[in-house]
Amino acid sequence: MTQLDVLPPVEYDLNYLPPSATLPHVPAPPACDSVPIDVSVPGLPPLFHGHPDLHMNNGIISANHAGSTGEEDSEKAFFVADLSQVWRQHQRWKRALPDVEPFYAVKCNPDPYVLRLLKALGTGFDCASQGEISQVLSIGVDASRIIFANPCKPASFIRHAAKSDVALMTFDNTDELHKVARLYPGAKLVVRILTDDSSSLCRLGVKFGAPLADVPRLLACARGLNLNVVGVSFHVGSGCSDPNAFQDAIMRAHRAFAFGREAGYQFTLLDVGGGFEDLTFERSARAISDALAHYFPKSERETAGIRVIAEPGRFYVSTAFNLACNIIARRVREGDDEALDDDNETPRVMYYINDGVYGSFNCILFDHQVVYPHVLTVNGSFVSSTTASADLELCSVWGPTCDGIDCVSPVTRLPRALEVGDWLGFRNMGAYTICAASQFNGFKTSDVVYTSGVGVDSAAVRRALVSTD
């Protein structure tokens, strides 16, 4: 076999604006009375059409009007979800990885519209708990389109999977095998192997994955318990920045397949896990395709009936959700404040917004994200390219709770003219944000405004959602 090409590693880019860069701005289209589209999804919020920036501006206008009339909690932060962006990401996936079936990682963002859209688009679902399995089954997804991708499961969750016919599930230890043998002997098991996840934001190998040296022992145990092991899975870590990690992992999976044959199994599933990033997706897809061609040629996969699946999460939803936050307070640090440095590198202006690390920005703590605000309004007016970049000052942005850890952005640059009541926006907020938000200190979680986008993409989203019911 020829040596695989090694792709040069890339410096990880969160696709957010650094403080030293020119501030982006959101164009301010005129407000309009958007008409919800009836997609026959009872119990869900209305779905609008139109550009997401328009709906962000409309939401701000509505909030400001509600505030002027004294309405309670009028300045509440809100998301705008552009479902057409989810649709476009799916088209990217099909173009770049046509032979790899996506099983969406529900944990990343279990939004009901997102799940229904992905169901209509034909994806499978990666579930990690009884609750996620129940949510996916409740929208009519067939149990065969679910993988219970949690190697260490409570006994009650395994019983629930058995009752629900969710047979495909992962393991990485002998205790799990004995548990499954007792509770769900008909399960279709997938051995999760350990890979190199050193280039990822969230390293999962410290918790899950059997070293290759342990795989023969695990398969012997499974064989002794008369359990059906059908394949191999791995996860290079969430937010992987080095495409070569997938090549190394697929090489290890190839060795695990050989161990399976030696144990008397004929594996028919390869799960290449998650870790897909928006900015590096095509490079990761190329690395996966090259490695599959090298270690699992298509002709051999077809002969052996081997399916290849993956567990993308943030790739589908990160860029589809943007967040608008209201500046609820402003503090200028002056005089003898000991925290101020003589070199003027410590922000003197502190802005407080109505969402923070206990809410949507929990991604800063749990997902190692770094976020940068952009300006939506200045002095109550929507920004232009001039007002967004003029007369900037060093500042910090804080969440609303009483905890000192609630810092959204320790150092950034924003227009000096910002006032209490103005709005800041945050892009790429669809992954690991809403799903882990709490109501600490009594602050409510942020609402979501949905749009199907514009043009042919919007029409495709509407057709897909209607087809799910």
List all residues 6 or more positions away from 313 whose beta carbon is below 8 Å from its beta carbon. Answer: 104, 105, 107, 108, 109, 126, 238, 274, 276, 431
Helix (H) or strand (E) holding 40: none
* Rounded Cα gap, residues 450 and 80, in angstroms: 6
* Rounded Cα gap, residues 458 and 47, in angstroms: 11
- Assigned domain for 94 exists: no
Helix/strand/coil for 311: coil
| Residue 437: per-residue pLDDT | 82
- 246 and 363 in a single domain? The answer is no
* Rounded Cα gap, residues 38 and 246, in angstroms: 42
- Assigned domain for 17 exists: no
- Assigned domain for 6 exists: no
pLDDT digits (tens, 9 = 90+) for 227-259: 999 999 999 876 555 778 889 899 999 999 999
Q: How many CA atoms lie within 13 A of 38 on its CB side?
A: 1
- Assigned domain for 390 exists: yes
- 52 and 137 in a single domain? The answer is no
Q: How far is CA 450 from CA 36, 83, 139, 311, 321, in A?
A: 9, 7, 19, 24, 9
Q: Which of 312, 338, 369 is the last residue of a domain?
A: 312
- 65 and 204 in a single domain? The answer is no
Active site residue 221: no
Report the pLDDT averaged over residues 448-459. 95
* Rounded Cα gap, residues 108 and 132, in angstroms: 11
Helix (H) or strand (E) holding 247: helix 244-262
Q: How far is CA 159 from CA 130, 133, 166, 372, in A?
A: 9, 12, 10, 44
| Residue 178: per-residue pLDDT | 98
Question: Which of 202, 363, 402, 407 is labelled catalytic?
Answer: 402
Q: What is the pTM of this model?
A: 0.88
- Assigned domain for 438 exists: yes
Q: The domain that contains 444 carries what CATH number?
A: 2.40.37.10
- Assigned domain for 18 exists: no
Contact 159, 180 (CB under 8 A): no
Domain range for residue 377?
47-81+319-451
- 336 and 358 in a single domain? The answer is yes
| The pLDDT of residue 96 is above 70 | yes
Residue type, position 320, single letter: A
Which of 427, 399, 408 has the alpha carbon at shortest distance from 317? 427
Report the pLDDT averaged over residues 417-436. 93
Contact 143, 165 (CB under 8 A): yes
| Residue 177: per-residue pLDDT | 98
The total number of structural domains that make up the chain: 2
- 125 and 265 in a single domain? The answer is yes
| The pLDDT of residue 92 is above 80 | yes
- Assigned domain for 146 exists: yes
Q: The domain that contains 212 carries what CATH number?
A: 3.20.20.10
Q: What is the mean pLDDT of the chain?
A: 87
pLDDT digits (tens, 9 = 90+) for 20-73: 333 334 444 444 445 566 555 778 999 999 999 999 999 999 999 888 888 877
The residue length of the chain stands at 469
SS3 for 15-31 is: CCCCCCCCCCECCCCCC
pLDDT digits (tens, 9 = 90+) for 148-178: 999 999 999 999 999 999 999 999 999 999 9
- Assigned domain for 242 exists: yes
pLDDT digits (tens, 9 = 90+) for 364-396: 888 788 998 999 999 888 986 555 567 899 999
Q: Cα 308 to chain center, whole Å?
A: 21
Which comes out higher in pLDDT, residue 9 or 280? 280
